[in-house]
Amino acid sequence: RLATPGDIKQLVPLINTAYMYENVGPRAFKQPDALRTSEVSLREAMNEGVVVVALEPGIGGERILGCVHYREIPTSEGSASTQDTNSYFGMLAVDVAFRSHGMGRRLEGIAETIALSRDRRVIEIQVVNSETELLERYQRHGYKEFGRKDWNAPFLTQPRYFVLMEKIISST
């Protein structure tokens, strides 16, 4: 289902935990306090697109197990791609206990389905260059690199850039 403002308090820790490898451990490249999202930035993401959540029903309510952010890229904003009807997904996060069960792939597929339902034929993602496993995974899913984008954020502890990838999607 689509996330609502009432989901934000549950989504922020889920997303920040899923992206914690950016801040601590051997793969870290951001300052420890530079978290992936906040209530304010997540609310902005919901306003510029949609956030889809994967749920587990339970006694006492639903538990959010994963999410993905989808948005369309306005013509005025453009993209580095050669395509002109683009969409984008990002902030894909899955609860640590539910990883390696295909939930991330299903959320990715939902973003692609939303794009198709809105007559978008290309979907883009940005992957941090050091995340070789993610780059390889998206390549296996049909994404191809089409560019790179500098990332000069003050909270980076090591130089990084984004690898821009796109996939041409169809209803078949």
Residues 6+ apart with CB under 8 A from 79: 73, 86, 88, 124, 164
Q: How far apart are CA 73 and CA 70, in angstroms?
A: 10
Q: Say what the pLDDT of residue 61 is.
A: 74
Is residue 71 packed enough to be buried (19+ CB in 10 Å), middle (13-18) or exposed (0-12)? buried
Contact predicate 19/100, CB 8 Å: no
Q: Say what the pLDDT of residue 83 is.
A: 52
Whole-prediction pTM value?
0.88
Calculate Rg over the CA atoms of the chain.
Answer: 16
pLDDT digits (tens, 9 = 90+) for 128-158: 999 999 999 999 999 999 999 999 999 999 9
pLDDT digits (tens, 9 = 90+) for 118-129: 989 899 999 999
